[in-house]
């Protein structure tokens, strides 16, 4: 059955990506992300068959026990990895592709009170790092890496690395997202400050040259007067 196949794949994904995971039984018993995904499957089925109240009850009970809130309307692909998971929020019209990794504190949310599609569409092999927020009905392309604490408000093309508030693209088709590296990411603020520092040094150098030229001209005029 597809249900058991998906659960088996989710457990294998945890074993592959989390060095702290020792065996499948430990993952099944101790990892809240696994249970959030397990219970999302019947909740999503009920939601699609218009049993929305029961679906919401299941999602809220799951939230109580796991700290992960997944709206039953959300569509989640295969081999999703929710690491730790506390305070993860996934909105109703969110669509998540295959092989996506979500860390604790991630929000895939909407903006405003518009009906219809109002949450993001996440592509395949995307990493959303701790505390990042992706807000709005836009697409995040395949192989995107979103840095910790970033707030993404606009569409992101495939293969990009995004950091900052609001999120800025700092790399495209750089290192693979398979390494799960959340530390060695470019800092756009530091880059801008470095550019400003270099600009100030250049302007100070020019000002110094102008002052020297002015002094030389004044001395030349004094000598002519003598």
CATH number at residue 173: 2.160.10.10
More confident residue, 32 or 210: 32
pLDDT for the residue 26:
93
Distances 79 to 31, 57, 96 between C-alpha atoms, Å: 14, 25, 11
Residues 173, 211, single domain; the answer is: no
As given in the structure block, the two tokens for residue 8 are 């088996």
Compute the distance between CA of residue 71 and CA of residue 7 in angstroms, rounded to an integer: 19
Specify the higher pLDDT residue, 169 or 80: 80
Number of compact structural domains in the chain: 2
Q: 94 and 33, same structural domain?
A: yes
Point out which residues pair with 161 in neighbouring strands.
145, 171
C-beta contacts of 184-187 below 8 A and 24+ residues apart: 185/145, 185/147, 185/161, 186/161, 187/163
Residues 189-201 have pLDDT tens digits of 677 777 888 888 8
Residues 8 and 34 in one domain: yes
- 88 and 193 housed in the same domain: no
Can you give the pTM of this predicted structure? 0.76
Kindly state whether residues 13 and 116 are assigned to the same domain.
Answer: yes
pLDDT of residue 221: 67
Same domain, 177 and 202: no
Confidence of residue 49 (pLDDT cuts 50, 70, 90): very high
Its domain, for residue 17, covers 2-182
**Does 197 share its domain with 171?**
no
Q: Do both 13 and 63 map to the same domain? A: yes
Q: What is the mean pLDDT of residues 146-169?
A: 90
Q: What is the mean pLDDT of residues 125-130?
A: 94
pLDDT at position 2: 83
The answer to whether 85 touches 33, Cβ cutoff 8 Å, is: yes
Q: Which of 178, 96, 101 is nearest to 132 (CA)?
A: 101
Q: How many helices (H) and strands (E) does the chain have?
A: 5, 15
Residue 176's pLDDT is what?
A: 54
* pLDDT at position 50 over 80: yes
pLDDT grade for 177, boundaries at 50, 70 and 90 = low
Q: Are 114 and 94 in contact, with CB atoms under 8 Å apart?
A: no
Same domain, 198 and 159: no
Instruction: Judge if 157 and 79 occupy the same domain.
Output: yes
Q: Is the same domain home to 160 and 203? A: no
**Dist CA 84 CA 205 (whole Å):** 52
| 200 and 152 in a common domain | no
> 149 and 131 in contact (C-beta within 8 Å)?
yes
Residue 117 contacts residue 91 (beta carbons within 8 Å): no
């Amino acid at each position: 059955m597809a249900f058991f196949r998906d659960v088996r794949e989710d457990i294998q994904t945890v074993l592959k990506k989390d060095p702290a995971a020792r065996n499948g039984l430990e993952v099944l018993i101790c990892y809240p992300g696994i249970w959030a995904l397990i219970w999302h499957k019947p909740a999503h089925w009920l939601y699609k068959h218009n049993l929305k109240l029961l679906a919401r009850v299941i999602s809220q009970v799951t939230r109580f026990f796991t700290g992960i809130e997944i709206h039953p309307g959300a569509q989640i692909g295969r081999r999703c990895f929710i690491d730790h998971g506390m305070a993860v929020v996934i909105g109703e019209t969110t669509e998540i592709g295959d092989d996506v990794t979500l860390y604790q504190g991630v929000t895939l949310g909407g903006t405003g009170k518009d009906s219809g599609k109002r949450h993001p569409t996440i592509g395949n092999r995307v990493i959303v790092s701790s505390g990042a927020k992706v807000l709005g009905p836009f697409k995040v392309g395949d192989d995107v890496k979103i840095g910790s604490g970033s707030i993404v408000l606009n569409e992101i093309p495939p293969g990009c690395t995004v950091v900052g508030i609001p999120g800025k693209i700092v790399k495209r088709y750089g290192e693979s997202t398979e390494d799960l590296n959340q530390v060695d990411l470019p800092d756009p603020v530091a880059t801008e400050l470095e550019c400003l520092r270099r600009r100030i040094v250049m302007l100070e150098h020019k000002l110094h040259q102008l002052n020297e030229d002015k002094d030389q001209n004044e001395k030349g005029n004094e000598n002519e007067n003598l």
